[in-house]
Structure 1
Amino acid sequence: MPQPDQSPSGTAWAEPLLRDVFPDAEVTAVLPRTGGQLSTVYELRCADPAHCAIFKVYAPEWAWKQAKEIHVYRLLADLGSALPVPQVLHHTPARAPGGRAVTILSLLEGRPLSEASKDLDAAQIPSFYRQMGAALATIHQIGQDAYGYVTDRILDPRPDNGTYMRHQFAKKLTEFKTLGGADRLHDAVARRIERDGALFDNCRAAALCHNDLHEGNVLVAPGDAARVTGIIDVENAIAADPLLDLAKTDYYSLGRGEPERNALLEGYGPLPADAAERLDLYRLYHALELWDWFRSIGTHGPLDSIAADIARLACRRTDTPS
């Protein structure tokens, strides 16, 4: 695929696709935006600002993710103005250079909090986490009839949270061992699940979970009325315990502290009586999953720090404050 270019010559591949949505669109620039491991994201700027859009281009082996994202964004759109998410304007298989599938999304105001935070006072960050908590609570209003990985349906659906989470921990522990993780950590996690896994059964209903709501996937407009303007990237969506989702946002708030955690939980609203214990157990799951992911893609820098998190969380007692 050609490298994106801010000159008109770099727009030739994009303009015909955008004209499926806006027949008179004139693309003036194709700019790279923050993307994931599985797809590339571009902002299309146009002579008429009303025609500007986001293009998400999928590598051929991940084209199936397109149907998933369309399905999840449309579920979230049913929430109306309560949740700022991109609108799916158009989608087409294998139309981009290299035969890649493309989804065209509406362009939302703002930039990722992960970028904007560099220019903000630390005292402003909790406000965004409070809004992130409220956004998660809104997403979790969408109930699901089973637990599992979401595409345009639930794959390998599990009937209850206990079955689902024990399966997930077993899978991630197997990956951990295969990838060369320390036996002592593997065994410590297994013991923690054996001891405290009954907590999983306290979740009685699955909800749609974003499952990746970290600062890179939250668009913000800083200023006097600092606000979240967009929730993006639903590639990892699952049907699960809402607290699993909340715990991931908390665990992935790397470098943040108690002000952000307290704001996140305050924004989310009332929690079940066992929330502290369940959240703690789910943080362990996310640490294990993240270690497996980084190790599998050859990113070694964070592994020791994550392993320390695994060791700490695996040894927690359920009566220990989170």
Structure 2
Amino acid sequence: MKMKVSRKAIENIIKQHIPEQELAEVKPYDKGHINEMLEIRLKKSRKPLILRIYNEPWKAKKESFVYRCIKSQLDIPVPEILASDDSGEIIPKAYMLMSKIDGMAIDKNYRKYRKKPIFRKAGEILARLHSVKFHHFGWLMDNEIKPAFRKWRDFAWHDLLTKMYNISSLKEIRKMIPRIEEKIGEYSFLLDIKETPCLLHKDYHCPHILTKKSRIAGIIDVEWAIAGHNENDFIKMELWAFSRMKNLRKPFFDGYRKYGHISREYEQRIKMYELWHWISMVNISKETKNREWLEHNIRALRKFLK
């Protein structure tokens, strides 16, 4: 995979933040649709680093803030942040330099060892993440909630309307709007909740839960974190893990309930959160101009609406 940032630019980053070191090797990761991620090896160190180059400058401060928030409040393994910069002075884009957590994605771990308790531990860790509380609901931008809402329902409507406006230029979506409105009307009462806003990972699924044999080695990729309703954080595991590994759903939620609460309405509410999820996925794939990914998400939304 070809790098979008030059080797010289990476050398400048290392010189700025770790002047005693020299760049030895750079390996781009062939994953992700949005930000560039590189594995960095230095001449005087055996420990590789991760360099993330962001498509939007606010993400560098935001992800750095979330990792440090987790590290300061919880005993959960996350990367150590070595540097974060959005000034554009070192390289034109915002970036973050951090330690690399070695580990195997949790689904690959299960296929290798066939041990269900690792999913119970993943549920426990998510519940502990949700123990970080906020005063308002909303997007985490840099190190603040912006815009901030006192009610989850109000934030949900703001987010949905913003994304629906963005994707309404797509003719495939315009045809679905009456059905989308019907479904939102059917499920919207489930957005009236009493829970306190908490830290949501918002991308909590197998590739971002790293493991070593029987333990969780690290939680990564908190770029999309928000202050929200805890049950909204289950949707990606539901869709991308438990849809193909149904036997692991119970241990995951058993683990979650050790530290967290799941309401009686969750099995209904999940439909609202799935609709919201696919609208969000269409929006982000449109913004990144990835036509193949966009078409996949439009098909998934259409299938959900049937």
Q: Give the alignment's TM-score, normalised by structure 1.
A: 0.79
User: 1:172 aligned to 163, 186, 204, which one?
Assistant: 163
- Please name the residue that 1:262 is paired with: 250
Q: CA deviation at 1:142?
A: 0.8
For 1:89 and 1:303, how far apart are their aligned partners in 2?
Answer: 35
User: 1:275 aligned to 266, 274, 292, which one?
Assistant: 266
Residues 202/4 of structure 1: CA separation in 2 closer, same or farther (3 Å cut): closer
* Structure 1, gaps ≥5 residues long: 313-322
Are the counterparts in 1 of residues 187 and 271 from structure 2 also a CA contact under 8 Å?
A: no
Q: CA deviation at 1:105?
A: 0.7
- One-letter amino acid of the structure 2 residue matched with residue 67 of structure 1: K
- Please name the residue that 1:74 is paired with: 68
- Please name the residue that 2:59 is paired with: 65
Residues 126/184 of structure 1: CA separation in 2 closer, same or farther (3 Å cut): farther
Are the counterparts in 1 of residues 12 and 90 from structure 2 also a CA contact under 8 Å?
A: no
For 2:272 and 2:63, how far apart are their aligned partners in 1?
Answer: 28
Residues 27/125 of structure 1: CA separation in 2 closer, same or farther (3 Å cut): farther
- Please name the residue that 2:225 is paired with: 237
What are the within-5 Å matches in structure 2 for residues 152-191 of structure 1? 152-182=143-173, 185-191=176-182
SS of residue in 1 equivalent to 2:95: strand
For 1:234 and 1:200, how far apart are their aligned partners in 2?
Answer: 24
Are the counterparts in 2 of residues 247 and 280 from structure 1 also a CA contact under 8 Å?
A: no
Q: CA deviation at 1:251?
A: 2.4
What are the within-5 Å matches in structure 2 for residues 59-138 of structure 1? 59=55, 62-80=56-74, 82-92=75-85, 93-94=87-88, 96-97=90-91, 99-113=92-106, 117=108, 121=111, 124=114, 126-138=116-128
- Please name the residue that 2:25 is paired with: 29
| Alignment partner of 1:142 is 2:132 | yes
Are the counterparts in 2 of residues 214 and 253 from structure 1 also a CA contact under 8 Å?
A: yes
Summarize deviations over 1:112-169 as a string: whole Å, max 9, x none: 457xx3x862773855543332222111111111111111211111110121222333
| Alignment partner of 1:199 is 2:205 | no
Residue range with higher mean Cα deviation, 103-112 or 178-187: 178-187
Q: How many residues align?
A: 297
Summarize deviations over 1:81-123 as a string: whole Å, max 9, x none: x2111111122333555x3333211121224457xx3x86277
- One-letter amino acid of the structure 1 residue matched with residue 131 of structure 2: Q
Are the counterparts in 2 of residues 207 and 241 from structure 1 also a CA contact under 8 Å?
A: yes
| Alignment partner of 1:228 is 2:216 | yes
* Structure 2, gaps ≥5 residues long: none
Q: CA deviation at 1:244?
A: 0.7
Are the counterparts in 2 of residues 57 and 102 from structure 1 also a CA contact under 8 Å?
A: yes
Residues 57/303 of structure 1: CA separation in 2 closer, same or farther (3 Å cut): closer
Are the counterparts in 2 of residues 11 and 28 from structure 1 also a CA contact under 8 Å?
A: no
Are the counterparts in 1 of residues 28 and 39 from structure 2 also a CA contact under 8 Å?
A: yes
SS of residue in 2 equivalent to 1:100: coil
Summarize deviations over 1:30-86 as a string: whole Å, max 9, x none: 111355444211111234445532112234xx1221111121111111134x21111
Q: CA deviation at 1:286?
A: 0.7
* Identity between Structure 1 and Structure 2 (%): 21
SS of residue in 1 equivalent to 2:79: coil
What are the within-5 Å matches in structure 2 for residues 203-214 of structure 1? 203-214=194-205
For 1:125 and 1:279, how far apart are their aligned partners in 2?
Answer: 27
Residue range with higher mean Cα deviation, 124-133 or 153-162: 124-133
Residues 87/285 of structure 1: CA separation in 2 closer, same or farther (3 Å cut): same
Are the counterparts in 2 of residues 161 and 241 from structure 1 also a CA contact under 8 Å?
A: yes
SS of residue in 2 equivalent to 1:14: helix
SS of residue in 2 equivalent to 1:272: coil
SS of residue in 2 equivalent to 1:105: strand
Are the counterparts in 1 of residues 23 and 41 from structure 2 also a CA contact under 8 Å?
A: yes
- One-letter amino acid of the structure 1 residue matched with residue 58 of structure 2: W
Residues 173/91 of structure 1: CA separation in 2 closer, same or farther (3 Å cut): closer
Are the counterparts in 1 of residues 4 and 36 from structure 2 also a CA contact under 8 Å?
A: no
SS of residue in 2 equivalent to 1:212: coil
Runs of 4+ in 1 over 6 A off after TM superposition: none
Q: How large is the Cα RMSD of the aligned pairs?
A: 3.0
Q: Give the alignment's TM-score, normalised by structure 2.
A: 0.83
Are the counterparts in 2 of residues 133 and 264 from structure 1 also a CA contact under 8 Å?
A: yes
